[in-house]
Amino acid sequence: MAWRLAIVMLLGALPISGCASRAADDRRDRARLVKRLEAAVTATARRQAAAGQFKGPVLRTRCGPRVGTKPNDLTSPGGRYRCFAVTYQSKLSYTGQEYLATVDWRRGTFSFYRYRIPLFYGV
């Protein structure tokens, strides 16, 4: 009788472990998509710096979720990211170009553009 209960408990736990595995796969896929976004922004920023649109070289790019985007919320269809292409770095600070991106988790796609402060701000 005890072995039957053990089998029922094991079979009941299988779908739960499958869900946990699927969730871990989804999170891993999202992390890979953000890495692809960083690589794409770096390549675009390097092309733009070579074309003279801003002063290079581009050292690296880091992307992070914008306010309101929750990358661990597996029910969200997408999110918005802020990417920063670093052109100069010291021990205390860094400078570069900002890019804004939209990520679609379900399709595994993204789009981005370079963010420029409007002239009417006086900067």
Pairwise CA distance, residues 62 & 8, whole Å: 48
* pLDDT for residue 11 is more than 60: no
Pairwise CA distance, residues 79 & 70, whole Å: 7
Q: Sign of the CA dihedral 69, 72, 77, 79?
A: positive
Using one digit for the tens of pLDDT, what is the confidence trace for 24-58?
Answer: 999 999 999 999 999 999 999 999 999 999 998 99
pLDDT band, very low/low/confident/very high, at 120 (cuts 50, 70, 90): low
Contacts of 73 (CB under 8 A, 6+ apart): none
Q: What's this model's pTM, rounded to 2 decimal places?
A: 0.78
Pairwise CA distance, residues 104 & 37, whole Å: 11
